Amino acid sequence: MKKISRYILVFIAILATSVALPKLYWLAFEKPISRPFIMYSSLEHDFMIQRHENKQFHRTDTKGNTYTRDEFEQKLPLFYVRQLLISGIMPDTINGRAMDTHEIGKARSSYRFKSSYMIAPTPGLYPLFESESGRANLEMPEDFFRITDRMEFVRASENIISEKKSQMFTTVLNNRGFDFPAAMIAGIPTTRKSCDEGYIVVDNSNQMFHIKMVEAEPYVAKVEVPDGLTFKFIACVDFSDKKYYSYLISSDNEVYILTQDEYELIKLPIEGFIPEKEELRIYGNLFNYTVISRGTSSLKVIALDKEYNKVDEYTESWTKLSDTKAGKAASFIFPVELNLSNLNSSFIDFYFERTKGFNWLILNLLLMIAHFFIIRKTGLKPTKNLIDFAVIAVTGIFGFLAVNIFQNKFFD
Amino acid sequence: MFKSVVYKEWIKTKWFLIILTFIGLLAVGNIFLKVQHNIAFNDANKYWYLILFQNHHYFKSLKFVPLFIGLLIALVQYVPEIMDKRIKLTFHLPINENKILMMMLGYGFITLLASYALMFFAFVGLSNQVLPTEIVQATISSITPWFLAGFAAYFLVALVVLEAIWKYRIAYFVAASAFMLFYFESSIPGGYNLINLKLILLTIAISISLSFSAYRFRKGEM
């Protein structure tokens, strides 16, 4: 019991130090890593790259031509449209097409996906807006819905179920072949959007439905999904051009869009995207989409035309945190780093990251020798402290601190 | 013997326990006065929306209350024991010192459990009155680590207080403080879903840590 209690305390101390020490280390030594901003120029048919290095901006294209800020902005007229309009240098035509600010604005879109949006707890309750209220602004409904063994509306003012409305929606869903409960519910649960398009819902059999409320009546449309195609994340969007309802990430990491009204699933030619680890940004304009998938040390940019065909591609990588000076030094100190939070997840958990290589073995060995002398000094027998040595061998500095905070002194 | 130990602990802690539980219940009551006020001024649907989608933590004022109760109960229970080394008298009783300490710890744990249970069920009961299951469940996931922190603080303070040598006492305090941060990471409601079970197991494991102190104590480190 006494020995167990000591090792429990040692274990707790190892956990605590393996979170605290690397955190303090990075707080002291982490330097910002410059990541380039890249956008496809519909004018130059090339990628325009802006870097921030040594507190200065460097603007180039992929051929190595360098640009001033004004020149750079002029190469991306559809991205910097406001600036060019203010400066009075917005071109009248691009690629033979007359520029109309209304059209430019309508075609503009921007979307950002982060892994932590996907790996996150779901609210479980959602507001179903009236899609055709006849009002200029959307209004927050009185009730919120859940889709468990039926579609249920809970009236917030009394915290009770609106039985009639629940039955009405459940009946329509049943008639459309909905298999309860819902596996995924995606929508834009805010009144701050141009209009309401309800929710894209995946049922228990991976069937996809579009559910909204039109003049207080249910609107349910089934989306035809090819056999075997399943999705792990759906993000609804509210873009002015109203071309599609949502971006969808399939189980095999392909990115799709779901077109408006026709409910057609179109696969975007984005390869190698890992949604669990990478961020995705999609910028649209009158002529192209720029799709940027970015990991911790590299990014890939794909330019698509308006028919979603790939027209160009650019990749770039930069020094990983672990390959910087501070990262290399850390590899000699910490065998592992423990974090409770993770950029790629909204959940708190124990996230272990093993240090690349075995540089830390040197320090572990030195600490074992140091521990040997500490034990000798206190008059204990090293042979009776073999577990402590094993703990230091594996956990290094964390174990060394832990076994010396909670000493083995009275167990001989 | 068990009754005598319980009675001794009860004499030391009863007023603190009653007053702290009362403060805890007041904190819960205060939360729901605010909830009721917000619903009256914002409409229930808008208030639900704030909680579901705007990360509004209506329960946040509860965050350090269980920790505070756990810390104080441990101090009230164990500080008198080390003053004038009274606990040595206890260890001279014809009963295993571990058993005595476990009785003391068990008493503390059960009284804390009772105090926390009152707060927890009052909180969940009131939440259920005005909020839907989904919000209540996510909230339970968020407040669970705070209550676990109360237990962990109780066990770890006992460990620190019973340690006789100051340099180790400080080292235990630093290690324990670093560990206690595990229970207070900021997160969205439901964000603690994956780790709560692991924290429960760790908190249970810590509960037997006091026997380490007892052993050091008996071996004469004092």
Q: Which of B45, B157, B210 to mutate against chain A (most A CBs within 10 Å)? A: B45
| Whole-number Å distance between alpha carbons of A115 and A95 | 36
Picking from A2, A159, A406, the nearest residue to B132 by CB comes out as A159
> How much is the pLDDT for B5?
78
Query: Domain boundary residue among A317, A335, A358?
Result: A317
Q: Is residue A410 part of a domain?
A: no
The answer, yes or no, to whether ipTM is higher than 0.90 is: yes
pLDDT beyond 90 at B119:
yes
Would you place residue B88 in the very low, low, confident or very high pLDDT band (cuts 50, 70, 90)?
low
| Whole-number Å distance between alpha carbons of A359 and A313 | 37
Would you place residue B222 in the very low, low, confident or very high pLDDT band (cuts 50, 70, 90)?
very low
Residue A71 vs residue B86, higher pLDDT:
A71
The secondary structure of residue A412, as a DSSP letter, is -
> How much is the pLDDT for B91?
66
Instruction: Answer whether B130 sits within 8 Å of A159, measured CB to CB.
Output: yes
Q: Is residue A69 part of a domain?
A: yes
Paired residues of A268 in beta bridges: A255
List the structure tokens of A211: 């559910």
Looking up tokens 């101090």 gives B75
Picking from B45, B190, B212, the nearest residue to A121 by CB comes out as B190
Q: Is residue A412 part of a domain?
A: no
List, in sequence order, every beta strand (DSSP E) within A68-139. 93-94, 97-98, 109-113, 126-127
Supply angle C-alpha B13, B17, B23, rounded to 5: 150
Instruction: Answer whether A125 sits within 8 Å of B209, measured CB to CB.
Output: no
| Whole-number Å distance between alpha carbons of B132 and B138 | 10
Cα separations (Å) of B33 from A330, B59, B65?
Answer: 50, 12, 17
Express each pLDDT in B69-83 by its tens digit.
Answer: 999 999 999 898 887
pLDDT beyond 50 at B63:
yes
Express each pLDDT in B8-28 by its tens digit.
Answer: 889 989 999 999 999 999 999
Instruction: Answer whether A156 sits within 8 Å of B210, measured CB to CB.
Output: no
Region A260-285 average pLDDT:
96
Q: Position A300: which residue type?
A: K
All residues of chain B having their beta carbon less than 8 Å from the beta carbon of residue A20 are: 178, 181
**Chain A residue closest to B43 (CA)?**
A157
Q: Is residue A189 part of a domain?
A: yes
Residues A41, A131: one domain? no
Could you give phi then psi for residue A353, rounded to 5 degrees? -125, 110
Express each pLDDT in A87-138 by its tens digit.
Answer: 999 999 999 999 999 999 999 999 999 999 999 999 999 999 999 988 889 9
Residues A225, A128: one domain? yes
Residue A32 vs residue A164, higher pLDDT:
A164
Would you place residue B1 in the very low, low, confident or very high pLDDT band (cuts 50, 70, 90)?
low
Residue B162 near residue B215 (C-beta atoms within 8 A) = no
| Whole-number Å distance between alpha carbons of B206 and A10 | 11
Residues A254, A286: one domain? yes
Residues A45, A130: one domain? no
Query: Is B208 in the A-facing interface, judged by CB distances under 8 Å?
Result: yes
DSSP string, A121-173: ---S-EE--BTT-S-SS----SEEEEESSSEEEEETTTTEE-HHHHHHHHHHH
| Whole-number Å distance between alpha carbons of B122 and B29 | 9
The secondary structure of residue A33, as a DSSP letter, is P
Would you place residue B89 in the very low, low, confident or very high pLDDT band (cuts 50, 70, 90)?
low
Express each pLDDT in A199-237 by its tens digit.
Answer: 999 999 999 999 999 999 999 999 999 999 999 999 999
Query: Is B215 in the A-facing interface, judged by CB distances under 8 Å?
Result: yes
> How much is the pLDDT for A411?
45
Q: Position A235: which residue type?
A: A
**Chain B residue closest to A139 (CA)?**
B46
Instruction: Answer whether A156 sits within 8 Å of B208, measured CB to CB.
Output: no
Residues A18, A45: one domain? no
Residue from A72, A73, A109 nearest A285 by CA: A109
Residues A200, A289: one domain? yes
> CA quadruple A311, A314, A315, A318: dihedral positive or negative?
negative
> How many separate domains does chain A show?
3
Picking from B47, B52, B187, the nearest residue to A123 by CB comes out as B52
Q: For all residues of chain A together, what is the average pLDDT?
A: 94
Q: Which of B49, B53, B194 to mutate against chain A (most A CBs within 10 Å)? A: B49
Residues A313, A186: one domain? yes
List the structure tokens of B171: 């080292």
Residue A297 has a CB neighbour count (10 Å cut-off) of 15
Query: Domain boundary residue among A317, A341, A364?
Result: A317
pLDDT beyond 70 at B220:
no
Residues A263, A350: one domain? no
Instruction: Answer whether A11 sits within 8 Å of B181, measured CB to CB.
Output: no
Residues A173, A226: one domain? yes
Express each pLDDT in B28-50 by its tens digit.
Answer: 999 999 999 999 998 999 999 99
All residues of chain B having their beta carbon less than 8 Å from the beta carbon of residue A346 are: 187-188, 191
Helix (H, G, I), strand (E, B) or coil at A210: strand
For residue A140, the domain's CATH number is: 2.120.10
All residues of chain B having their beta carbon less than 8 Å from the beta carbon of residue A146 are: 132, 134
Instruction: Answer whether B188 sits within 8 Å of A346, measured CB to CB.
Output: yes
| Helical pair B166-180 and B133-162, crossing angle rounded to 10 deg | 170
Cα separations (Å) of A96 from A89, A90, A99?
Answer: 17, 14, 9
Express each pLDDT in A27-75 by its tens digit.
Answer: 999 988 888 999 999 999 999 999 998 889 999 999 999 999 999 999 9
Residue A142 near residue A155 (C-beta atoms within 8 A) = yes
Picking from A9, A15, A144, the nearest residue to B212 by CB comes out as A9
- In angstroms, the separation between the Cα of residue B113 and the nearest Cα of chain A is 22
> How much is the pLDDT for A207?
97
| Whole-number Å distance between alpha carbons of B209 and B105 | 10
Query: Domain boundary residue among A284, A299, A317?
Result: A317
DSSP string, B127-141: HHHHS-HHHHHHHHH
Express each pLDDT in A311-366 by its tens digit.
Answer: 999 999 998 889 999 999 999 999 999 999 999 999 999 999 999 899 999 999 99
> Does the bond joining A181 to the residue before it have cis omega, within 30 degrees of 0?
yes
- In angstroms, the separation between the Cα of residue A406 and the nearest Cα of chain B is 8
Of A173-187, B130-144, B161-175, which gets the smallest average pLDDT?
A: B161-175
Instruction: Answer whether A405 sits within 8 Å of B179, measured CB to CB.
Output: no
Residues A140, A287: one domain? yes
Residues A13, A47: one domain? no
Cα separations (Å) of A218 from A39, A213, A215, A236, A306?
Answer: 41, 5, 8, 19, 33
Window B:118-157, CB contacts with A under 8 Å:
129-132, 134-135, 137-138, 141
First vs last Cα of chain B: how many Å apart?
25
Residues A119, A143: one domain? yes
Q: Which of B173, B179, B207 to mutate against chain A (most A CBs within 10 Å)? A: B179
Would you place residue A408 in the very low, low, confident or very high pLDDT band (cuts 50, 70, 90)?
confident
Cα separations (Å) of A405 from A177, A384, B13, B169?
Answer: 63, 18, 30, 9
The boundaries of the domain holding residue A398 are: 2-31+326-405
**Chain A residue closest to B199 (CA)?**
A349
Sheet with A265-268: list strands edge to edge.
A231-236, A244-250, A255-259, A265-268
In terms of Cβ atoms closer than 10 Å to its own Cβ (0-12, 13-18, 19+), residue B118 is: middle
The secondary structure of residue B144, as a DSSP letter, is H
Residue A84 vs residue B209, higher pLDDT:
A84
